[in-house]
Structure 1
Amino acid sequence: MLLVLAALPVLLYRMGAFLPHTMGQSDMDWAREVERENSTGHESAEGVIATGNGFSVVGYTNSRQPGVNQAWVLRFDKAPPPRWQRTYAGNGKLGTSGHAISSMPGGGLIVVGAERVPGGGFQGWLLALSPEGDVLWERTPGHEGVNGLNAVSVLEDGSIVAGGAQEREGWVVRMNSRGELLWEVKLPQLEHVTALVALPAQRVAVLGTAETSTVGPGISRLFVLESDGRATRETRLPAEGQGELNALALLPDGGFAVTGRLLRPGAMDPSVWVARLAPRGETLWEYVSEATEVGSGHAVTALADGGFAVAGYSWKELLVDREARVWRFSADGNLLWQQAHGGAKDDSGSGIARLADGSLVVVGTTMSKGAGKTDLWTFGLSPEGQLLWEETFGAP
C-alpha cells in the first residue's frame, strides 16, 4: 500500500506528460488537482514493536514536506504523547516509506522500507537508529526498480535480516550490526516476502506470497533459512486453494501464528484467516471469519499464555470503507474476543504488539478521526480488550 501511495505523484506526473494529447483541459485540471490533494495531509502507521516498557512505531508522512514521503518513527513510553518522533528522507532526499521496525541490542532501532530513486523507481532501504532516534547508518542494498523491504528481525548475534522484493522475486538480506552485507538470497518461489522472524542458531523463518493477482488472493509459502541463507524447509499455505498470509509470529513452543486472508471454496471474496502452525509448518488449527465478512489480518503478536492477538480490517457494507478489527485467540484456537474500532470512514489496523505490562497496542491508519485526510492512528487495549487510550497524529 505504501508503495502505491508513494508512487501516486509520480504516476500523475507521467500522466501529465501525455494527457494533453488524449484529454481535455478540464480533465488535466482534475488530474493536477488530485495530485495536489494527495501531495500532503497523509500519514500512516505500518508497524509497531515493544521497546522497553513502551513501544515504537514506524510509518510515513507527506505533510512535513509536501510531495515527498518521509519515513516517520515515533517512540512512546506506555502511552502517548511520544517521547520523541522524527522523520527520515533517505540518502537521495527523494523520499522514503517505513514498512517495518525491530529492536536492536542496547535499545536502538532498525527500520526498513523503500527509498524513492530518480526516474520514479524504488529500492530497499535500511536505517539504524540510536535509542534517541539519531541515525547510526543507512543502507540501500539491491537494485533500483519497483523494489523494497517489508519485514525485519534481529538475530541472537545482533545481525539483521530483512525481507522484501527484488525484481518480482522474494528477497532476503543479512547484515551485521554495522550494516555490512553478510549475504543475500533470492526466493524465486515467492513474488515478495511479507514477514520474517528470528529463530535460534541464527536461522530465520520467512513468509511470502506468490501467484498474486488483482482479482483475488494467490498462495503463501513459509521457508526456514539456515544461518548461511540456505533454504532447508518449505511449506505451502494453504495446502489447497487460495490464501495470502501477511504476518508471522514465533510462539513459545517454536511454532508460529500467522494471519492474512483466505478464499473459501465457492466464496466470491476472501475472509480473515488466522492459523497456528507447528514448528515444522503443519497447520494445527485455523480460523476463517464468516463468509459474509470480507477482510484481512495484517499483524499478529504472541501472548504470554501461548495465545496470540491479531489486527487487521473488515470491509463495511458494499466494500465502501473498512473498520479496524482486533481478535484474541487462545493457544488451542478459541476466539476469546473480537472488536471493531474506527468510525464512519475508512480505518485499518496494520500493526499490533504486546507490551511489558501485558496490554496491547494497535497501530494503523484512520480517516474517521484526527486532523488530516489520513492520520497515523494508535490505541491501547487491556488483555480483555478494554480500550485504554487512543491517539492520532497527522496534519490537515
Structure 2
Amino acid sequence: MSGFSRISLFLMVMAILLLYSCAQAPISVVSIWQKAFGGSEWDVAYSIRQTTDGGYIVAGYTESFGAGEEDVYVLKLDADGNKLWEKTFGGSGWDVAYSIQQTTDGGYIVAGYTTSFEGEGHVYVLKLDADGNKLWEKTFAGIYADRARSVQQTRDGGYIVAGFTNSFGAGGDDVYILKLDASGDLEWEKTFGGTLDDMADSVQQTRDDGYIVAGHTCSFASSDVYVIKLNGDGYEEWHRVIGDEHYYESANCIQLTGDGGYIIAGYTASETGWRDFYILKLDASGDLEWEKTFGGDRDDEAYSIQQTSDGGYIVAGYTTSFGAGEEDVYVLKLDADGNKLWEKTFGEEYSDEAYSIQQTNDEGYIVAGYTESFGAGSRDVYVLKLDKYGNTGSYPQ
C-alpha cells in the first residue's frame, strides 16, 4: 500500500472513531415547557422556587379548591412541570400565600395573610414538611388589617417576615417586620414609617446578619421607593427614599448582589397613571448607582428580579404595551449595567401576568403567575420554564 493510501486509511479510521465518540457523548438538554394548574375559579401563583430535587415549589391562592373563599395553594412540581402534589390551607375566609421558600430540613416556609381568624386580617405563616403536610401555623396581628408579603429562612434556623400593619405603628399602614424562631414563635417585631401609608413587599437577610427591606412610602414622599437597612436585632441602620416628586414609585422586590449591593424591581408611574418597569441598583450603603425604566405607552410593572450567574439580571412582570393580549407576561434579561439584552412576552388574548422568576440550575429560568388565556378556569396558575435565551415550550391546553 502506498504512503498516500495509508494516510487516507488512517484519516478515515480517525474520522469514524471521532463520529462514534461524539455519538456516545451525553447531550445536555434544557427542559422548556408551559403549564396551567387550577379549577373552574380563580387560582394564582405569587411565588416559585427551584427545589433541591430539581423540581419546583409554588405558592399562591385558590378559589377552586379548599375550605373557604380563597385558600393558600401550594403545588410541588417535578423538573418537567408535572404536578406531584397540591395542598390547600386556611379556613372559611380569605387566605393567601405571597412567598414560599424551601427550608434546610427539606420542608417549606410560607407567608401571606388570613381573614379566617379574628380581626380584619392576620399575618399568616405556615411551616410544611417535604410532602406539604402542615407542621405548624402562626398568626400575628392586631385588630385591623395586617399582611405578610415576604419570608426567608435565616441563618440561625428562624425566619424573617416583612409586610405591613394597620394595627400598630405611627399611622395608616406601616412597614411590619417580624423575626421568628425555628418553631415560629415571635422573637421581635418592628414597625417603620410615618403618619401615612408605608409598606414592605420584600425582605432579605444580609451578609452581616442584618436585613434589607424594600417597599414604598407615602409618609416621606408622594409615593416613592422605600429601602430600610436593619441590624440583626431589627433596629434601623439607614433608610433611603428614592423617586421623582412628579412620579409614583414602588419596589416589589429586592435582592442582594454579588458586589455587596442591592437590586430592586418595581414600577414608576407618571401623573397620567401609566406605569413602567423600574430597576434600581444600589451600593452596599444604599446609594443609587443607576436606575432604568422599561416599557411602552401603557402599563408595565416588574414584580420579581434576580441577579444571574453572568452578573446581569432577570426580571419578570406584566405588560399591556406589548404582546398578544390585554396583559402579557413580560420577561427582560439585563446586563450588569442594566442594559436590555432581550425581552419576551408570553400569553394570548386575555390577561396573563408573572409575579415570580428565578434562574434555574441549567441556566434557564422558572416563572410563575396566572393566566386567563389557558387552563381550566377563569384564572389559573401559570408556570413557564425558559431556556437561557427566554425560549419556552408550546402554550398549555
Q: CA deviation at 1:67?
A: 5.3
- Name 2:248's counterpart in structure 1: 242
1:199 aligns with one of 184, 189, 206: 206
1:259 counterpart (259, 265, 268) = 265
Counterparts of 1:349 and 1:273, CA distance in 2: 16
What TM-score do you get using the length of structure 1 for normalisation?
0.82
Partner of 2:316: 311
Match of 1:72 in 2: 73
Match of 1:363 among 365, 368, 372: 368
Deviations 1:151-170 (A, max 9, x none): 11121112100011111111
- Of 327, 334, 338, 2:339 maps to 334
Partners of 1:316 and 1:181 in 2: how far apart? Answer: 44
The answer to whether the 8 A contact 1:287-1:333 is kept is: yes
The answer as to whether partners of 1:94 and 1:117 remain within 8 angstroms in 2 is yes
Q: 1:258 to 1:142 in 2, by over 3 A?
A: same
Distance (whole Å) between structure 1 residues aligned to residue 310 and residue 175 of structure 2? 33
- Does the 8 Å contact 2:193/2:217 carry over to 1? no
The letter of the residue matching 2:108 is L
Is the Cα–Cα contact under 8 Å of residues 171 and 184 in structure 1 kept in the other structure? yes
Offset, 1:357: 1.8
Partners of 1:119 and 1:251 lie apart in 2 by 40
Aligned equivalents of 1:157, 1:298: Cα separation in 2: 28
> How far apart are residue 98 of structure 1 and its match?
0.7
Select which of 344, 351, 356 maps to 2:349.
344
Q: What letter is aligned with 1:51?
A: T
Give how far 1:124 is off.
0.5
Whole-angstrom CA distance in 2 between matches of 1:120 and 1:378? 33
State the structure with more CA Rg. Answer: 2
Matched pairs, number: 346
Looking at structure 2, the residues matched to 135 and 118 of structure 1 have their Cα atoms a distance apart, in angstroms, of 17
- Let me know the Cα RMSD of the aligned residues: 2.4
- For 1:222 and 1:132, locate their aligned partners in 2 and report how far apart those are by CA, in whole Å: 36
SS of the residue corresponding to residue 200 of structure 1 reads coil
* Amino acid in structure 2 at the alignment position of 1:68: E
Letter of the 2:216 counterpart = T
In structure 2, distance between residues paired with 1:54 and 1:203: 30
2:237 aligned residue (232, 248, 252): 232
Question: How many Å separate the matches in 1 of 2:364 and 2:141?
Answer: 38
Runs of 5+ unmatched residues, structure 2: 1-38, 167-172
Name the residue aligned to 1:98: 97
**TM-score when normalising by structure 2:** 0.81
Q: Aligned ranges for residues 1-396 of structure 1 at < 5 Å?
A: 41-52=41-52, 53-65=54-66, 68-89=69-90, 92-117=91-116, 121-167=120-166, 168-189=173-194, 191-211=198-218, 218-238=223-243, 241-264=247-270, 268-290=273-295, 292-316=297-321, 321-388=326-393, 391=396
In the alignment, is the contact (CA less than 8 A) between 1:155 and 1:199 conserved in 2? no
> Which residue identity does 2:142 align to in structure 1?
H
Tell me how far 1:233 sits from its aligned partner.
1.2
The one-letter code matched in structure 1 to 2:260 is G
Give the distance between the partners of 1:361 and 1:389, measured in 2 at CA: 15
Which amino acid is 1:350 matched to?
A: Y
Task: Output one character per residue of 1:19-63: Cα deviation in whole Å (capped at 9) or x when no partner.
Answer: xxxxxxxxxxxxxxxxxxxx9611000111222122211011011
Q: Secondary structure at the match of 1:83?
A: strand
Cα displacement (A) at 1:78 = 1.7
CA distance in 1, matches of 2:141, 2:313: 34
Q: Tell me which protein shows more helix as a share of its residues.
A: 1
Secondary structure of the structure 1 residue equivalent to 2:208:
helix
After superposing the two structures, state which structure 1 stretch, 107-116 or 40-49, moved more. Answer: 40-49
User: What is the Cα deviation at residue 226 of structure 1?
Assistant: 0.7
Deviation at 1:379, TM superposition (A): 0.5
Deviation at 1:201, TM superposition (A): 3.3
Deviations 1:60-115 (A, max 9, x none): 101114752110111223221122221111xx543411111122112211000111
| 1:40–1:66 Cα contact (<8 Å) kept | no
Q: 1:32 — aligned with what?
A: none
- 1:120 to 1:143, Cα distance in 2 relative to 1, 3 A: closer
Aligned mates of 1:113, 1:271 — CA distance in 2: 26
- Relative contact order higher in (CA < 8 Å, ≥ 6 apart): 2
